[in-house]
Chains A and B, each alone.
Chain A
Amino acid sequence: MSWLEKIIPAVKGDTVGKRGVPEGLWLKCPNCDSVLYTEDVEKNQHVCMKCSYHMRIGARTRLNGLLDESGRKEIGAEVTPVDSLKFKDSKKYPDRLKQATEATGETDALVVMQGAIEKVPAVVACFEFEFMGGSMGSVVGERFARGVDAAIKAKCGFVSVAASGGARMQEGLASLMQMAKTNARLAELAEKKLPYISILTDPTMGGVSASFAFVGDVVIAEPGALVGFAGPRVIEQTVREKLPDGFQRAEFLLEKGAIDMIVDRREMRATLARLLSAMRS
């Protein structure tokens, strides 16, 4: 069991990523147990045709669904992780990184792509949750920063799609500092009057939730996404009572006034294009 599963129950088993695409022709919806034809699910952007459950998807699958096909350019792929603390728990940090790379095909938990959304230019930074729980370390922070820089240079909007358990413990305080680093860069974007849209997907927790996730000009969540500062188990242990139904879910956040809207994945691209153009006079 990874450290993330400890914080977020039932993390495993319902993610469809680059390499995580089920081999079989059929797959079962983790929510309603309907048996679905894999190809149909893929065509439906990994949203269950029966119950509209939004399955977890990998960063590149997501980017493919959001960005126009032509003119895409990846940003920050040249930035890769180092083990500056020589961190060791039951496994060495470099071994964990290697394992995550083998599982996902990625070198860290954030993929940034410059391109356009329905012809509106944008830079999109997307988390890969399967890479060490989408945890934010120095590479995630640096790629994020380079993405914002690219948006400033191209005078276009910046979009982040979060899916993360929080900061990456294996990098110690440096990972906490990425919270300050990413938000400082977003402050520069804001000074240039360029739009920032934050999309919260399942799950967005801890240091990612408490940094750039909620400072978007517009904050959107996917239906049912779990989003919060502290994990439900930590809160349960603190308050010693059962948490209310739907606590920390997207619908709860909308009701509390924490987010602007909940958008179905299949409508996301059109919504982003509309919002990005709305924020340019």
Chain B
Amino acid sequence: MAKQHYLDFEHPISELQARIDELTELHNGVDQLDVSDELKKLRRKLADLNKSIYSKLTPWQIALVARHPQRPYTLDYIGGMFTEFVELHGDRGFSDDRAIVGGFARFDGKSCVVIGHQKGRDTKEKVARNWGMPRPEGYRKALRLMKLADKFSLPIFTFVDTPGAYPGVDAEERGQSEAIGRNLFEMAQMRVPIIVTVIGEGGSGGALAIAVGDTTVMLQYSTYSVISPEGCASILWKSAERASEAAESLAITAPRLKALGLIDHVVAEPSGGAHRDPVGMVQNLKPLLAAELTRLSELSPSERLQQRRARLAAYGAVKVAA
């Protein structure tokens, strides 16, 4: 397994883990030395420490977990929950944007279309996938695949994990706004079930462009926000340093958004976050997606569309005078 990457607030965890690793090595190297009791004790302590640190994460710390470099990405979930994935490429107009992946797959044996933002692991892949920030052609590829799903009456699963749509000259030239707006417009008309899961960063319009659906699921330590905490802080306080305050104000965490009625489900992550136990994460997530698919499949397309639109219409809080 790759070396574990620790976030700043995880220091006590990393220190304890280092001690455990050291002892384990010693234990393996010298037969006579019996440290198994000590190891057991330390491991229990580690579990407790994980639990206690992770039980009181601030919204900003959660934002950091959501961006953890070892967090499972879309292709990890596709590998873990789907079979027979056939990746399809390109928007047919300009290029293939690798910040978005998608294609046909099977979920519990049933054919479906799966689409998601994709970040890279190493530097080379990060560049190729543009840190998960799509350009217009990425959204247009996603729309092309959604239209395929609609044509063949296949449910759509989307996985959201992006810092945002790419803010670049070329993206503007090719109509970033139009591409995002078009997807929102079209997704409100798809006659097949659309199941959205926010697995990491739900960054603004760039996230929403594949996130209009019948149900929105968020992993416990994922975030979904109109603007990044840093962006918000630099605008409101003229200082990105105050991102932690902004994260608090913006209400970007799954439980808070559930309470506000803006998302539908929160899925618990394994102790210490999804990246500590990707298999456990998939085990937590898959039954919910299966249940949502069953529930949505029982509705007729027009009932589903009506419910989706009613959900969208209800978003937001206003006062209405009699």
Contacts and interface: CB of A to CB of B under 8 A. Distances in A.
A82 B320 CA distance: 10
Contacts of A137: 316
A174 B260 contact: yes
Contact of A82 (B227, B237, B262, B318): B318
A212 B181 contact: yes
A24 to B, nearest CB: 33
Nearest to B180: A210
B167 A183 contact: no
Nearest to B171: A229
B173 to A, nearest CB: 6
A3 B236 CA distance: 6
A184 B262 CA distance: 16
Nearest to B203: A176
A227 B176 CA distance: 11
Nearest to A91: B236
B226 interface: yes
Given A78-B321, A172-B250, A173-B225, A210 B176 contact: yes
A101 B201 CA distance: 35
Interface residues of A, number: 64
A228 B172 contact: yes
A53 interface: no
B182 A215 contact: yes
A169 B184 contact: no
Nearest to B225: A173
B172 A184 contact: no
B227 A230 contact: no
A187 B317 contact: no
B188 A187 contact: yes
B63 interface: no
Interface stretch (B43-51, B269-277, B307-315): B307-315
A30 to B, nearest CB: 24
A239 B277 CA distance: 36
B227 A183 contact: no
A180 B315 contact: yes
A89 B172 contact: no
A87 B16 CA distance: 39
Given A137-B316, A210-B177, A214-B175, A184 B212 contact: yes
B64 interface: no
Interface stretch (A13-21, A54-62, A240-248): A240-248
Contacts of B175: 214, 256, 258
A175 B226 contact: yes
Given A184-B188, A187-B189, A176 B226 contact: yes
Contacts of A244: 169
B251 interface: yes
B266 interface: no
A207 B205 contact: yes
Main secondary structure of the interface of A (DSSP, over half): helix
Interface in B173-221: 173-178, 180-182, 184-189, 204-205, 208-209, 212
A145 B184 CA distance: 15
Nearest to A80: B319
Contacts of A191: 189
Given A169-B236, A177-B312, A179-B205, A215 B317 contact: no
Contacts of A79: 318-321
Given A176-B208, A187-B189, A169 B250 contact: yes
A254 to B, nearest CB: 12
Interface string A163-195: 000010101111111111101111110110000
Contacts of A88: 249
A173 B249 contact: no
A190 B208 CA distance: 21
Contact of A181 (B167, B205, B237, B313): B313
A190 B167 CA distance: 30
Contacts of B260: 84-85, 172-174
Interface of A: 3, 6-7, 78-82, 84-85, 87-90, 137-139, 141-142, 145, 167, 169, 171-181, 183-188, 190-191, 206-207, 209-215, 227-230, 234-235, 238-239, 243-244, 247-248, 256, 258
3 A-B pairs with least C-beta separation: A138-B316, A230-B167, A184-B188
Interface of B: 165-169, 171-178, 180-182, 184-189, 204-205, 208-209, 212, 224-227, 232, 234-238, 249-252, 257, 260, 262, 308-309, 312-313, 315-322
5 contacts: A139-B318, A145-B313, A172-B251, A210-B176, A211-B180
Given A79-B319, A141-B316, A187-B189, 19 more contacts: A3-B236, A79-B318, A85-B249, A85-B251, A169-B227, A171-B226, A173-B257, A176-B225, A177-B208, A179-B205, A180-B312, A190-B185, A207-B226, A210-B176, A210-B177, A210-B209, A211-B180, A212-B181, A215-B178
